[in-house]
Structure 1
Amino acid sequence: MTTTAPGRRSGQATTIALKLLMAVTGLVFVGYVLLHMYGNLWAFSGQQAFDEYAHHLRELLTPMLPYGGLLWILRVVLVASLVGHAAAAFALWARAAKAREQRYAVKKAVTATLASRTMRWGGVALLAFVIFHILHLTTHTINPGGDPESPYLRLVGSFQVWWVAVIYLLAMLALGMHIRHGAFSMLQTLGLTDNRRRYRISHAVGLVLAIVIAGGFALVPLGVLLGIVTT
């Protein structure tokens, strides 16, 4: 009979729990960025439509909640998810690094995509971008394109500054790569890649989500740079 040491069982359970935490918080982020991308695309409908959409978001569930109350609830959920996601990622990173200290006599050939190889550092880059994004369009601490009252004018004015648009486009490239592998890993953690067909479908889901979300976000700064979205 083969038995597993209590310490090893505890370590495996912790690893599974961390992966589940990453999967659940990742699902929260995917849902959020899809809705956020949809909102950003209102910029193509012009200033009035975009500003009305931004105003409507702040009126959701009023008077049960104060003006902008739902947005603050969403922000709290997102910050909590971000902390949990980042903490789980760094914990798993540390465990993987510790495990690599033990070398095996036989190495398995592993096919790794660019997205999977850059997953960790891409996540760090996205974390830095999220901080920049909050300082830019939430707190208005950074105002490279001015700080008009209109959300539309603030958005367009910012992306008319070329280096701001480049930062966002590079961030969307990193986001696409992160989602590409992250969505597959999430489905794998949830046990949805247990056969060849589901494995291929999960890879396809990750690719489609990456293209739709990253591409959708990139349309707005590209539209501003090309003069399609203007003030």
Structure 2
Amino acid sequence: MAVTGAIMVLFLVVHMIGNLKSFLGAEEFNSYAASLRTLGEPILPHRVLLTGLEVVLVVALALHVWAAVSLARRAGRARPVKYAVRRRPQAGGYAIHFMRYGGAAIFFFLIWHLLDLTFGTVNPAGGAGTPFERLVEGFAPSRWWVTLFYVLAVLAVGQHLRHGLWSAFQTLGRAGRRSYRALNAVAVTIAVVMVLGFLAVPAGVMAGIVK
């Protein structure tokens, strides 16, 4: 869970930085999108390195889901009978349920996101549109419901990220009594920065700044 989560966090950071290039204009954003397909050239053929990175992400996602299901089953087998009394049910119970069902919601959003902005299947600009055109059309004011869906999904990612980072610190043996507050602050800060970074783009399109 921790290792595959770290891979996806690294992807999110790079993805967020790339998205923010949309504020520099269509030419800059389209150039960035095109450069992704030429990574490794001329040593590697066109799009080979990008395809390899995509495979790594897919494998990491599959292993992350597998780990989540396995851990949930292990927890269930470890204690088949529920606690008679729980002194602090809110934090732990909420986090566990959110990570499970929130993660599933994020997965389905990811499918829509790919169909909308990557392949253009459900995007008004279509697959023939440039990456910048698909971005602007995808978050157009007339498609406010898509933007709302995106905002909710990003907030879910932020919560998932915050709890995931903190859990990763514990898994890797970094969380202790002395470092609790500092590491928790790091997890919260990273999650907030990521959420604001991803929401800045649809906000820019809705406000007419990215056009």
TM-score by length of 2: 0.91
Rounded Cα–Cα distance in structure 1 between residues aligned with 2:109 and 2:44: 30
**Partner residue of 1:54?**
33
Rounded Cα–Cα distance in structure 1 between residues aligned with 2:203 and 2:43: 38
**Partner residue of 1:130?**
110
**CA-based RMSD:** 1.8
Rounded Cα–Cα distance in structure 2 between residues aligned with 1:58 and 1:149: 16
**Partner residue of 1:17?**
none
Alpha-carbon shift at residue 74 of structure 1 (Å): 0.9
Q: Secondary structure at the match of 1:62?
A: coil
**Partner residue of 1:3?**
none
The gaps in structure 2 that reach 5 residues or longer are none
> Does structure 2 retain, via aligned residues, the 8 Å contact 1:144–1:158?
yes
Rounded Cα–Cα distance in structure 1 between residues aligned with 2:204 and 2:149: 15
Alpha-carbon shift at residue 105 of structure 1 (Å): 5.7
**Partner residue of 1:164?**
146
Rounded Cα–Cα distance in structure 2 between residues aligned with 1:105 and 1:112: 17
Cα deviation 1:68-115 (Å, max 9, x = unaligned): 222111110000000000011011112223334224566443561755
What is the one-letter code of the residue matched to 1:28? Answer: I
Q: Choose the corresponding residue for 2:172, options 186, 190, 195.
A: 190
Q: Choose the corresponding residue for 1:175, options 140, 157, 171.
A: 157
Alpha-carbon shift at residue 136 of structure 1 (Å): 2.1
> Does structure 2 retain, via aligned residues, the 8 Å contact 1:146–1:158?
no
Q: Choose the corresponding residue for 1:102, options 58, 75, 81.
A: 81
Cα deviation 1:194-228 (Å, max 9, x = unaligned): 2x221112211110111111110111011111111
What is the one-letter code of the residue matched to 1:101? Answer: P
Rounded Cα–Cα distance in structure 2 between residues aligned with 1:78 and 1:65: 19
**Partner residue of 1:225?**
206
Rounded Cα–Cα distance in structure 1 between residues aligned with 2:166 and 2:98: 15
Alpha-carbon shift at residue 23 of structure 1 (Å): 0.1
Rounded Cα–Cα distance in structure 2 between residues aligned with 1:175 and 1:106: 31
Q: Which moved more, 1:179-188 or 1:135-144?
A: 135-144
Residues 1:200 and 2:181 are matched in the alignment: yes
- Count of aligned pairs between the two proteins: 208
The gaps in structure 1 that reach 5 residues or longer are 1-21
Q: Secondary structure at the match of 1:197?
A: coil
**Partner residue of 1:150?**
130
Paired residues for 1:17-56 under 5 Å:
22-56=1-35
TM-score by length of 1: 0.83
Q: Which moved more, 1:93-102 or 1:69-78?
A: 93-102
Q: Which moved more, 1:207-216 or 1:145-154?
A: 145-154
- Relative distance call for 1:204 and 1:184 in structure 2 (3 A) is same
Q: Secondary structure at the match of 1:112?
A: helix
> Does structure 1 retain, via aligned residues, the 8 Å contact 2:121–2:127?
no
> Does structure 2 retain, via aligned residues, the 8 Å contact 1:146–1:157?
no
Rounded Cα–Cα distance in structure 1 between residues aligned with 2:192 and 2:144: 23
Identity within the alignment, %: 47
